[in-house]
Amino acid sequence: MKKFLIFLLIAIGVGFILVQSINLNKYKHRIEKAVYNATGYKIKIKNDISVSLYPLGIKVSNIAVANPTSFYKKNIAHIGKIYIGVNPFSIFGGGVEIRSIEIDNLKINIVKNKNGRINIASVRKQENKHTGGSSKKSFSIKKLVIKNAALSYIDQSGNLNVLIKNINISSSLKYSAEKGLYKGIYLKGKADIKELGINKLNAVENISLVFDAENGILSIEPIKYMLFKSKANMSIKINLSNNMPTQIKLLDKKLNLLPLSKALYKNIKMSGFLFVSSNIFFNASNYKKSLRGTFLCEGKNIILYGEDLDRILKNAGNITSVDIGSFFIAGPLSILSDKAYYAAKSAQGLIGGKTVITHLFVKVNIKNGIGDLYDAAFSTKENRIAAKGKLNFITNKYDNVRVALLNKIGCAKIIQKIGGSFSNPHIEAASIVKSGIIGKISSFFNKLEKSLGIKKKRCSVFYNGVVKQP
């Protein structure tokens, strides 16, 4: 026993001396070159590399990952500090076991330039050139921790800025070389994200999620978050091993419209609650054209501030002067644009008052990137307005969308057509649909038809959906 203790002390002493004598900083350039050859990423280790004996590990700080020269930001990523703890005896078992990887203060910058090129995609081309294939060695990471991370995405071609702050991830990872690159990945963990901002707007906060990857399927469920001060949850399922579609499911979210309208729109103010659900599928390789699924929203007693639509329709000397298309965009389609409503409101001099939307219902069926307004309508205390047509998510344009003010049996009294882009819609002047008009105008047409011997035709029903006539 005494001899064993002496041997152990000598071994520890020798190990300590070896660790102290190892100076990995001499090999910084070689390490940087090896990383580039293996991954295609150009890195720069700015601070010293330190080694610990027990537990055996390496600590590196202040690492910069360079952008390709054609991108304006200097770095794709920056790592404040990284610690890698390894099990040296695992190499004798046919695989590599990493006890832990701890990354602190990671910053990632993804940029899509005006030519449509993405900086990370550009690096991947180099990676394919250098590696020539996937890893043939199995490995495991018992503990993978990322703290205080941030991710930014800048789309210079579409003026989109996304910033995700205060990301904290705790997970474990195993890779089996026998099963291949994607099916061999087993990943399990959880993440918390403090804030997600879009174009300087803090839309989503307090995100918590659980993720699991096995046999090429990545499931992120549940995802809980606050969207404009409203609690929400959703799930995402991605097939990593082939071109199968990604699924995003939004589960019966109760959306508070007052903070949403204040945050998103300069010209529209709404209050009330909207229940939203969706089940969307798309392929990552061509997400717009492959987009399919359903989107559903419904709300009751929603208030749209600005003007009383019922009063406008009641007092209008010329019913076609009322811009019902703008009111429809301000209500059911406000998520696409608020510009048309503002333009119409300015032109008509509408100030003060409010419209109470007693029932709003929108169901959109999406196939191959085209959304069909399957059932889209809202009612006020005295009127009902509905829409038909397509929403082209490939071109981000309205496709033959028609908005109609309805009579009691669902026929159109007046119709307006909406075209143009979601961000800048074009609303044509309203036109009277003779068969849907009731009252004095209808009586005049009926007398004219009778005198000419024309048989009266029943009006064509424009809408017969969930929203009923008040």
What DSSP string describes 175-236?
Answer: E-GGG-TTTTEEEEEEEEEEEEEETTEEEEEEEEEEEEEETTEEEEEEEEEEETTEEEEEEE
Does residue 245 have a cis peptide bond before it, meaning omega lies within 30 degrees of 0? no
Count, in order, helices (H) and strands (E) of the chain: 8, 24
How far apart CA 359 and CA 275 sit, in angstroms, is 12
CB 100 within 8 A of CB 144: yes
How far apart CA 262 and CA 271 sit, in angstroms, is 10
Query: What is the torsional sign of CA 13, 48, 140, 178?
Result: negative
Q: Quick one: pLDDT at residue 12?
A: 47
Name every residue whose Cβ is closer than 8 Å to that of residue 328 and which is 6 or more positions away in sequence: 378, 385, 387, 403, 418
What letter would DSSP give residue 133? S
And the tokens for 138? 């199995």
How far apart CA 58 and CA 46 sit, in angstroms, is 15
- Give the count of alpha carbons within 13 A of 160, CB side only: 10
pTM of the predicted model as reported, rounded to 2 decimal places:
0.69
How far apart CA 180 and CA 177 sit, in angstroms, is 5
In the beta sheet, which residues pair with residue 217? 214, 239
Q: Quick one: pLDDT at residue 132?
A: 43
Q: Quick one: pLDDT at residue 190?
A: 95
Per-residue pLDDT of the chain (470 residues; tens, 9 = 90+): 444 344 444 444 445 444 554 566 676 787 778 777 776 778 888 887 777 766 777 888 888 888 776 666 678 888 999 888 877 665 555 566 788 899 999 998 888 777 777 777 655 444 444 444 445 567 788 899 999 999 988 887 667 788 899 999 999 988 887 777 677 888 899 999 998 887 777 778 899 999 998 888 889 988 998 887 788 888 888 887 666 667 787 766 788 888 777 776 666 678 888 888 888 888 766 778 888 999 998 999 988 887 788 887 777 555 555 556 666 665 555 544 444 444 444 434 344 578 889 999 999 999 999 999 999 999 999 999 999 999 999 998 889 999 988 999 999 888 888 888 887 778 776 676 655 444 444 444 444 445 544 444 568 899 999 999 99
Q: Quick one: pLDDT at residue 29?
A: 80
Does residue 222 have a cis peptide bond before it, meaning omega lies within 30 degrees of 0? yes
Note the helical H segments in 59-137.
119-131
How far apart CA 126 and CA 136 sit, in angstroms, is 19
How far apart CA 96 and CA 134 sit, in angstroms, is 16
Q: Quick one: pLDDT at residue 359?
A: 94
And the tokens for 385? 């307005």
What is the separation, in whole angstroms, between the first and last Cα of the chain? 94
Q: Quick one: pLDDT at residue 294?
A: 93
CB 71 within 8 A of CB 111: yes
